[in-house]
Structure 1
Amino acid sequence: MCFLWALSGLTTMSPSYLNARPSCGPEFVTVGDHFNITSGFLNEMTTSAFFFGNLCLGQVYSTMADRLGRRPIIVWSLIMSGLFGSLGALAPNYCLFLVSRFLQGSFFNALTVINWVMAIECLPIKSHATYSFILGLAWVLGYCAITPMALIWPHWRGMQLLTSIPALIFGVIILFTLPESISWLVVRGKESEVQKWINAANKSAKKKITVNAKQIIMENCSERDMEEESFMAQIKNLLRDKYTMLCVAMESILWIVDFMGYSQLSIAGTGIIKDNCHLGYIFTGVVEIVCYAILPIFLDKLGRKPTVMIVHFIGFLSLLGMFFTQRYADSNVAFLIVWLIAKFSFASAFMCCFVYGSEIFSTSCRSICVGICVTLSNLGAMASPHVSDLDSFTFPGFYLLVFAFCSILCILATIPLPETAHRVNGRKNSCSELSSVEYIKKTKL
């Protein structure tokens, strides 16, 4: 499951080189070079098309994951993402290439959010922060692997192919090896398959599970009743639950802003060190390792809610620092340091979205609610490569002030959200019920 994040990092961050800044030199043939695209706006559509695909179709897969199961959607999405990405490497014109990026991006939700949801449904809540660190390392692996690929095959076609083929191969592998989420099996009343999970856990567990699958399923009958309702009935129930809808609205703000900031600082990484795009890009990836190493500690010690507020405040201060040091961007080490601090803060905030956001909602509506948040976050990701264009209408660095203001907005949006760390009880059909595995452990399985 972690490796899927590495594969997602490859396809998501490849525009850092597909539309590389001049600092990468003439040896790398970008999409714009090959198709003679001179408009900066059109060049950046490589990124926007990817997230527009996810905006249009991402929620479809999230909904299907609740109805059909996590496993089939993840397997299908991984194989199709690799296939469409590989076909994009053969595109004879820029329009068809953008179509391939659109289709490839439509599976981003499935390979990241549904993947994450499935993982946390199979882990106790106390392990979520640690697992986020492992996922973060996997993401950085894919993120940084793009640089050697660019050195091996300095052409956009090679980059597109090398970042897509692994997904196609790994998709075939997990087709035969990936089990279904135990929480989904419990909610759907799949007694025999739940029992297989219990039997498999007993083979390696020090404390044997003593309750059977039927008991677990009966304890979760209310979740199953909601799951068996039609999609429209589920939506109506969610709309009636005002607190859940408030959580969706506030989480959506966090996702949109954090994804926008993270994408902008990542994709622009090839341009932060003059005459050395590779080193600058690697720096922006490696700094995330620090983020993923210390973030679980803060999430466990301080709680989810305070951590989210702190990392956004750090982002606010670092963006202001970038604004005041931007005139020295080409030569000042201080600007690079502040840039990396900003990247650290947005990487932390983005990972908090996964950890904190997925814990707020119940199993029966988790994929739908988180899927709505992530789908809307594509608005931020689509806008991210174009936000810097605001400077041409205002003054240099105006876009940095926009990001700084948005960081404060995220702090305010976090206030009405609940704390989910170390909870043992949650609201019915809403915030923070235990995962099935946590329930198993709590009842002395």
Structure 2
Amino acid sequence: MKVSEEEEEVGGYTSPLMSPHFAASTSSSTSSEPSDRTEKKRIDIGDETPVISTVEELLKATTAWRPYPLFIIFSMSFLWSLCALSAISPAFTASAADDCKDNCSFYTIQHEFNLSSSLFLLEPAELTTSIYFLGNLLIGQFFAVLADRFGRRPIIIFSLFLTGIAGSLGSLAPSFSLLLVARFVQGSCYTPLTTVNYVLSGESIPHRSQSVTSIFFGVSWVCGYCFLAPLSVWFPTWRSLQFATAIPNVAVAVFLMITLPESLGYSVEKNDRVSVESWIQKNELLSCRKLTYNMESIMNDELKKEEKLTIYQMFREILSNSTITRRMIVETFLWILTFMTYCALSLTSTSVGNSDPLVSFLFSGVVELPAYIFIPICLKWTKRRPTRFLCHFAGSIALLTMYFLSYDTSLHLIVWLIAKFCAACCYIFCFIYAAELFPTFCRSCCIGVCSTSCNIGAIVAPHIFAIDALAPGSQFLVLAAVGLVCSVLTWFQQETKV
């Protein structure tokens, strides 16, 4: 599949879930005259061929659509499917409002451990989700920082082994407490398996192709999400499903140990000439295309870039600027509330009115697909702020309508899916808007604060359903109010499209 440079020039936004810790630039810099020693390493394919002398020129020459970069994109995006399996599995293993006693189609955590909701009306089984995102909140970002020091590849492979082994051991847990420990460890791997892998992919392709390749990651998440439905039929107990969603991580880790390269950008930054040469040679081999390049100039490219601010200096600059501080505070609340709504709807998708649990869950995943296409296309012609406001407000109206609809009506599932679609759009909007909202020097730091804080919303989300015990359907009133608050907060942010 070959894409011309004109076809690659699509969109200008940063992809969803772009890691805040690895906004490594790969901008071109002026190349120096190649030395005689370096000239000998070049592959002679004709005098008219320009010499590749920077990282960005190398990435443009290999493009995102040749076999080797495509392998990296597909393998890294597949990890989002694995993360969806582990993150959303409590929708079945600890289903909300699970009141089945006999002849149940799925044997849940509540059944085995005889869990009750006697603690402040909260459902203890929902802690399997809360503790998962608590692990990500407390430890996940630490793994992301380690990837800057030790490399993207080793952290990804280690995280796959860790989440696979912890999840598999969790399926054997003799007590609910030990299961929560396993879920905590699994959650700590969420960030490295959703952001570090995205960054490795992004550092191996031209920057302008990232907005297109992000669609692969979005589709992969939806595929993993939807695949949980048939998995719950094939593995009808929480232990078997827990194992089935965890053990593939170990198999993929072994496969990537053999095949996955370190990202090109990181290898150049760390002056790893062997890795860079290996990366180029594999690209040439699989593409059946020779490249003419100046290795010395490529390796020196990173040294010519501006010195980055330390974390302390960056925070000092942010806090001294009231405009940036206000934007970051408002955006952080938007991320927390948006992710809370998204997770709340996802985790209760198996108990939507009187709909078949598998059907409602499957549709709740499929309805996210248009969001990955609708938002980027829509933003080519519309302003950011009013479009984001409309998504929040429409979702709020749909959720409010749910409160007044009877569970027996045929519109119940349709309106709920509209609300889920709006929630998915709003979640995607968080990353698109934040990437344009903050200045370049502090963009990574600000998005890092937002993405870390949004785990708070995910921790709270599973317990929103509990308030239905006080007043049936009140969960929809709460989520509708949250959507209305987000609509108001959106107008406090600056429009980013000129």
Cα separation, 2, equivalents of 1:219 and 1:198: 21
Q: Is the 1:391–1:397 Cα contact (8 Å) retained in structure 2?
A: yes
* Structure 1 residues 339-354: aligned runs within 5 Å: 339-354=416-431
| Alignment partner, residue 298 of structure 2 | 213
> Structure 1 residue 252: deviation in Å?
2.2
Q: Is the 1:89–1:160 Cα contact (8 Å) retained in structure 2?
A: yes
| Alignment partner, residue 63 of structure 2 | none
1:315 to 387, 395, 415: 395
| Alignment partner, residue 164 of structure 2 | 82
How many matched pairs?
412
Higher alpha-carbon Rg: 2
Q: Is the 1:312–1:411 Cα contact (8 Å) retained in structure 2?
A: yes
Going from structure 1 to structure 2, the CA distance change for 1:157 and 1:408 (only over 3 Å counts) comes to same
State the SS of the aligned residue for 1:270. Answer: coil
Q: Deviations over 1:333-367 (max 9, x none)?
A: 21211100110111122233344445667898766
Greater shift, 380-389 or 68-77, is seen at 68-77
Q: Deviations over 1:49-85 (max 9, x none)?
A: 1111112212212222333332222221121011100
Cα separation, 2, equivalents of 1:10 and 1:210: 42
Q: Is the 1:187–1:364 Cα contact (8 Å) retained in structure 2?
A: no
1:261 matched to 2:336: no
State the SS of the aligned residue for 1:271. Answer: coil
> Structure 1 residue 177: deviation in Å?
2.5
> Structure 1 residue 156: deviation in Å?
0.6
Q: Is the 1:82–1:165 Cα contact (8 Å) retained in structure 2?
A: yes
2:133 to 51, 68, 79: 51
Query: Over aligned residue pairs, what C-alpha RMSD do you find?
Result: 3.3
* Structure 1 residues 243-392: aligned runs within 5 Å: 245-274=325-354, 276-302=356-382, 307-325=387-405, 328-329=406-407, 331-357=408-434, 369-392=446-469
1:114 matched to 2:218: no
Cα separation, 2, equivalents of 1:369 and 1:270: 35
Q: TM-score, normalised by structure 2?
A: 0.73
Greater shift, 363-372 or 264-273, is seen at 363-372
Q: Is the 1:129–1:355 Cα contact (8 Å) retained in structure 2?
A: no
* Structure 1 residues 69-148: aligned runs within 5 Å: 69-148=151-230
Going from structure 1 to structure 2, the CA distance change for 1:360 and 1:134 (only over 3 Å counts) comes to farther
Going from structure 1 to structure 2, the CA distance change for 1:199 and 1:418 (only over 3 Å counts) comes to farther
Q: Is the 1:59–1:368 Cα contact (8 Å) retained in structure 2?
A: no
1:2 to 77, 80, 84: 77
Give the partner amino acid of 1:7.
Answer: L
> Structure 1 residue 249: deviation in Å?
2.9
Cα separation, 2, equivalents of 1:341 and 1:207: 50
Cα separation, 2, equivalents of 1:245 and 1:66: 26
Greater shift, 174-183 or 92-101, is seen at 174-183
Q: Is the 1:117–1:358 Cα contact (8 Å) retained in structure 2?
A: no
What percentage of aligned pairs have identical amino acids? Answer: 37
| Alignment partner, residue 44 of structure 2 | none
Cα separation, 2, equivalents of 1:310 and 1:183: 38
State the SS of the aligned residue for 1:132. Answer: helix
1:161 to 240, 243, 248: 243
Cα separation, 1, equivalents of 2:271 and 2:326: 30
Going from structure 1 to structure 2, the CA distance change for 1:46 and 1:265 (only over 3 Å counts) comes to same
Cα separation, 2, equivalents of 1:420 and 1:213: 35
Q: Deviations over 1:189-210 (max 9, x none)?
A: 6566556656766775999787
> Structure 1 residue 235: deviation in Å?
4.8
Cα separation, 2, equivalents of 1:381 and 1:194: 39
1:31 matched to 2:109: yes
Give the partner amino acid of 2:412.
Answer: F
| Alignment partner, residue 13 of structure 1 | 88
1:399 matched to 2:479: no
> Structure 1 residue 167: deviation in Å?
1.0
| Alignment partner, residue 178 of structure 1 | 260
State the SS of the aligned residue for 1:318. Answer: helix
Q: Is the 1:75–1:174 Cα contact (8 Å) retained in structure 2?
A: yes
Cα separation, 1, equivalents of 2:379 and 2:282: 30
> Structure 1 residue 6: deviation in Å?
0.2
Going from structure 1 to structure 2, the CA distance change for 1:252 and 1:75 (only over 3 Å counts) comes to farther
Q: Is the 1:113–1:370 Cα contact (8 Å) retained in structure 2?
A: no
> Structure 1 residue 151: deviation in Å?
1.0
Greater shift, 7-16 or 125-134, is seen at 125-134
- Which structure has the highest helix share of the two? 1
| Alignment partner, residue 151 of structure 1 | 233
Give the partner amino acid of 2:81.
Answer: A
